[in-house]
Amino acid sequence: MIPTSTTTDQTVVLRPTKEEMAQQTAAFFQKGLEGATNSKIAYESDIQHATEWLTGNELPPLPMTSATLATYLSDLATEHKWATVSRRLASIRKWHRLHQQPDPSFDEGVKIVLEGIKRTIGTEPLQAPAFDLAEYKGNIRLMPATLTGLRDRAMLLVGFSCAFRRSELVALNLEGVQFTREGAVISYAGSKTNQYGKTEQKALFFSADPDTCPVRNLQDYMAILNRATGPLFVRIRKGEQITEDRLSDKQVARAVKAFLGQDYSAHSLRASFVTVAKLNGADDSEIMQQTKHRTRTMIDRYTRVQQVVKHNAAMKLGL
């Protein structure tokens, strides 16, 4: 708020000084530069890797020449998938842009090397496997009735039913959960595709089976927390001691593997939502309402393998 000074007959608005405006501009610039927290961490890690590679190969520090960049990318491609090569290239390009250095990736030789890398290692990312719904429900029913079990059961049911990414799941707060006659509405701020903190909402609905009902299990878990605000999914220490410490996203991955199987990852919750919903007749717009995808491209990618197997004319050949 801009400070004011009130006199007997008028209000005088105190304008910010040039120094204050410069500081404010610098703060906004820094915030825009950093981007999302995860992006900032990835960028810093990528630049550190590039710097260590240059040092280890007795090459000059950043900025890179086009020849050095081509060699670096070629070395990356011997051990990493295209997603890693592409991300580290983007970080290096960003470093050169921010430091007002020529971007070496524009060189025709670098472009040819990148084309060769793509043709050699491929660009298709590995997709998180989707689980069978009957298998999933059976595993959920076997989860223990301990405090940790109640937390993990609610977490896996909410993660699947709401198609949450694991970072979104552990960022949820109690005050963001509102129960309704139909189930619950979960409000949260920020996601991978929502970098500006806009509030988004996802819906949960009651299910006929109480053992696998996401709403009932969430209610049971929230009842043991005995508070109305703060992190929703929290750490539980040995001896079943509930804390108010927010759970890490790594625990989501561990819970998925422990209860659903070693073949699955935390992202399987989201991938399975799309797959199961699609196979049960949900249209893309309904699925996108819950996943918050901006386009149908990812919906098609998640369901491609299952569609090939379960919706294929080869089943109707009569052999």
At 257-302, the pLDDT tens digits run: 999 999 999 999 998 998 888 888 888 888 888 988 877 776 776 6
DSSP conformation letters of the chain: ---EEE-SS-EEE-PPPHHHHHHHHHHHHHHHHH-SHHHHHHHHHHHHHHHHHHHHTT-PPSSPPHHHHHHHHHHHHTTS-HHHHHHHHHHHHHHHHHTT---GGGSHHHHHHHHHHHHHH-SPPPPPPPPPHHHHHHHHHTS-SSHHHHHHHHHHHHHHHTT--HHHHHT-BGGGEEE-SSEEEEEEEEETTEEEEEEEEEEEE--S-TTT-HHHHHHHHHHHH--SSSBSSEEEETTTEEEEEEPPHHHHHHHHHHHH-TT--TTHHHHHHHHHHHHTT--HHHHHHHH--SSSHHHHHHHHHHHHHHS-GGGGS--
Same-domain status, 82 and 157: no
Same-domain status, 184 and 107: no
Same-domain status, 177 and 295: yes
Among the residue ranges 83-87, 148-152, 251-255, 306-310, the one predicted with the least confidence is 306-310
* pLDDT for position 269: 94
Same-domain status, 80 and 115: yes
Interval 141-162: pLDDT, tens: 999 999 999 999 999 999 999 9
Higher pLDDT, 313 or 106: 106
* pLDDT for position 22: 80
How many CA within 13 A on the CB side of residue 136? 20
* pLDDT for position 318: 59
Are 191 and 217 in contact by the 8 Å Cβ rule? The answer is: no
126 lies in some domain: no
The confidence band for 171, taking pLDDT boundaries of 50, 70 and 90, is very high
Reply yes or no on whether the pLDDT at 2 is more than 80.
no
285 lies in some domain: yes
1 lies in some domain: no
Euclidean distance between CA atoms 203 and 213, whole angstroms: 13
Euclidean distance between CA atoms 38 and 162, whole angstroms: 22
53 lies in some domain: yes
Same-domain status, 146 and 104: no
Same-domain status, 107 and 174: no
Reply yes or no on whether the pLDDT at 21 is more than 60.
yes
Reply yes or no on whether the pLDDT at 15 is more than 90.
no
Same-domain status, 299 and 159: yes
Same-domain status, 170 and 305: yes
Mean pLDDT of 167-179: 95
Q: Which of 99, 121, 143 is the last residue of a domain?
A: 121
The confidence band for 196, taking pLDDT boundaries of 50, 70 and 90, is low
List the end-to-end C-alpha distance of the chain, in Å, as a whole number: 76
* pLDDT for position 6: 46
Mean pLDDT of 174-184: 96
Residue 137, domain CATH = 1.10.443.10
Domain that holds residue 72: 17-121
Same-domain status, 160 and 214: yes
128 lies in some domain: no
Identify the bridge partners of residue 11 per DSSP, sorted by sequence position: 6
281 lies in some domain: yes
* pLDDT for position 233: 98
Mean pLDDT of 182-195: 78
Mean pLDDT of 8-17: 66
Interval 53-106: pLDDT, tens: 999 999 999 999 999 999 999 999 999 999 899 999 999 999 999 899 999 999
* pLDDT for position 59: 95
Are 149 and 258 in contact by the 8 Å Cβ rule? The answer is: no
* pLDDT for position 76: 95
Euclidean distance between CA atoms 183 and 70, whole angstroms: 54
Interval 23-39: pLDDT, tens: 887 777 766 665 666 67
- Residue 160 Cα distances to 24, 128, 151, 163, 166, angstroms: 42, 13, 14, 5, 10
Same-domain status, 198 and 247: yes
Supply angle C-alpha 128, 155, 125, rounded to 5.
Answer: 15
Give Cα 6 to chain centroid, integer Å.
49
The confidence band for 123, taking pLDDT boundaries of 50, 70 and 90, is confident
Euclidean distance between CA atoms 166 and 125, whole angstroms: 19
Q: How many domains does the chain have?
A: 2
Mean pLDDT of 18-26: 80
127 lies in some domain: no
DSSP strand pairing (177-179 vs 183-191): antiparallel
* pLDDT for position 1: 46
Reply yes or no on whether the pLDDT at 110 is more than 70.
yes
Same-domain status, 91 and 139: no
Same-domain status, 26 and 175: no
Instruction: State what percent of residues in the chain have pLDDT above 90.
Output: 62
Residue 64, domain CATH = 1.10.150.130
7 lies in some domain: no
The confidence band for 313, taking pLDDT boundaries of 50, 70 and 90, is low
Q: Report yes or no on whether pTM surpasses 0.85.
A: no
Q: Which of 60, 92, 121 is the last residue of a domain?
A: 121
Q: Which of 88, 121, 154 is the last residue of a domain?
A: 121
Instruction: State what percent of residues in the chain have pLDDT above 70.
Output: 83
- Residue 309 Cα distances to 127, 277, 314, 315, angstroms: 16, 16, 9, 9
